[in-house]
Amino acid sequence: MTFLDPRLTERRNPRTAEIDLASPIEIVDLINAEDRAVPEAVASQREPIAQAIEQAEKTFRAGGRLFYVGAGTSGRLGVLDASECPPTYGTDPEMVQGIIAGGPPALTRSQEGAEDRLDGAVEDLSAHGVRAGDFVIGIAASGTTPYVRRALSHAKSVGASTALVACSPPPQEALDVADLVILPITGPEVVTGSTRMKAGTATKLVLNTITTGAMIRLGKTFGNLMVDLRATNAKLKDRSERILMEICGVDRDGARALLDASGAIVKTAVVMHFLGCSREDAERRLDEGGGVIRRVVRRPPPPVPPA
């Protein structure tokens, strides 16, 4: 039966074969039933995801960068995860970057044929200056996207570390260019081939875990409190002040004064408060402690308040 696609993400799902006859509530139930399997698929990849966190931390501590590379939905998810790191963790936008086939226009409008342009993958990585010491993660729901495979091949050739995130077993030529493979197998989609659904959800969970894990390892949290954010708008300023009130036991005015003195960086403000030091000294001590607050102030975060 030659019309059968070997890629699991392109197969028909027998559980949703009659979905076009379903009522709205039945559609919700069918999709929800399929979605329930996604976290388990991601959990099955706990070890390679942990290895990706380790590689990302190692890369960042050595001054390297993390790049996500993908086409279509996969590319958009990479750009999304990368774009959320600066406001959440105060990172330089260069630290985590997303590269999508077809460039920025592909974020909002499909760029037909972009995923098949092998030369485009090399051009895009070269334009971003991908080099030895960087970490390049290719994202391809089907595991077969030519753009992603060529990108990983080029990254490997310049000495970068490589990984592949896919939701269907990739061909050998893709495995050959990936140092690490993360495979949350989500099976056929509710609508055949619509990988923005289960495969997309699994991919987002994986990428969130990699960057969140790496940022935690870099000391971007104190316990589970976000302490390396920059108070760049009213919402983030309020969050920063509330975090300082909780950690330091000060009132709103005290938190505001600490934030102003620290250059609007919560982590620096915490060290200044507990060590009674200047902003410059706090920054130096944090640098010496690898950015980890516990190592500098030698105390745990406050206990979680009762609900």
8 Å CB contact between 242 and 302:
no
Q: Where in the chain is the domain with CATH 3.40.50.10490?
A: 38-217
Q: Is 254 exposed, middle or buried (0-12, 13-18, 19+ CB in 10 A)?
A: middle
Q: Where in the chain is the domain with CATH 1.10.8.1080?
A: 221-297
Express each pLDDT in 60-115 by its tens digit: 999 999 999 999 999 999 999 999 999 889 899 999 999 999 999 888 887 666 66
pLDDT, average across residues 245-263: 95
Q: What is the CATH number of domain 221-297?
A: 1.10.8.1080
Q: Which of 34, 115, 189, 283 is catalytic?
A: 115
Query: Has 84 been annotated as catalytic?
Result: yes
* pLDDT for the residue numbered 135: 98
pTM, entire model: 0.91
Q: Residues of 78-94 as b/e, b for ≥16 C-beta within 10 angstroms?
A: bbebbeebbebbbbeee
Express each pLDDT in 163-205 by its tens digit: 999 999 999 999 999 999 999 999 998 889 889 999 999 999 9
Q: Under CATH, which architecture does the 38-217 domain have? A: 3-Layer(aba) Sandwich (3.40)
Q: Which of 54, 57, 84, 246 is catalytic?
A: 84
For residue 171, give the 3-state DSSP assignment: coil
Query: Has 34 been annotated as catalytic?
Result: no
